[in-house]
Amino acid sequence: MSIIGIVLLFIAVAVGRVVAQSELGEWFSLERTTLVWLLAGYGFLASVLPVWMLLVPRDYLSTFMKLGVVALLAIGIIIMAPDMQMPRITQFIHGGGPIIPGPIFPFLFITIACGAISGFHSLIASGTTPKMIARESQAMIRVRCHAVGKFRGSRRPHFRRPSHPR
């Protein structure tokens, strides 16, 4: 099943530009209001459907896509061996950059803190967490284990696999 999903994902990515430039592309050019309603509908379905039905297949295939992109980028960099001409520190280190107008040091620490908080927050406030545990009493130990694992840089999952019908 994985190979079929990966092949279909590859075909969808490869054919996407052709479809966008064809007459079918107009079907995918949606108004802002339509997009808002479609996203709201998707959000509703994602909140009521079991994890195994919607999130697991979507995340499973997107993982292959992300790993493929990283691998292709690494191979491209190794083959092309571009000269790195960017200085290690630019004039924007003291502030006035194109995106963040202030100096880098407060924003650097804010970014690190937000990353640490969001890792823990994603577990305790996520809509999928309740779907992945059998009882409420199991949540605290898993949240603590994941927070410690995230602190150590671990990426091992601490949740049991969601049950799905046989």
Helix, strand or coil, per DSSP, at residue 58? helix
Report pLDDT digits (tens) over 111-161.
666 666 655 555 555 566 666 677 777 766 666 655 555 444 444 444 444
Query: How many Cβ atoms are within 10 Å of 64's Cβ, its own excluded?
Result: 14
Query: How many Cβ atoms are within 10 Å of 57's Cβ, its own excluded?
Result: 12
Output the pLDDT for position 34. Answer: 93
Q: What sections of the chain are H helices per DSSP? A: 2-21, 32-48, 55-80, 104-124, 129-132, 139-152
Query: In this structure, what are the phi and psi dihedrals at residue 131, rounded to the nearest 5 degrees?
Result: -80, -15
Measured distance CA(113)–CA(132) in Å, rounded: 27
Q: Is the pTM of this model over 0.75?
A: no
Q: Residue 104 in contact with residue 112, Cβ under 8 Å?
A: no
Query: In this structure, what are the phi and psi dihedrals at residue 159, rounded to the nearest 5 degrees?
Result: -95, 150
Q: In the structure encoding, which two tokens stand for residue 131, read together?
A: 């779907």
Output the pLDDT for position 152. Answer: 46
For residues 99 and 53, the model is more confident at 53
Measured distance CA(134)–CA(162) in Å, rounded: 9
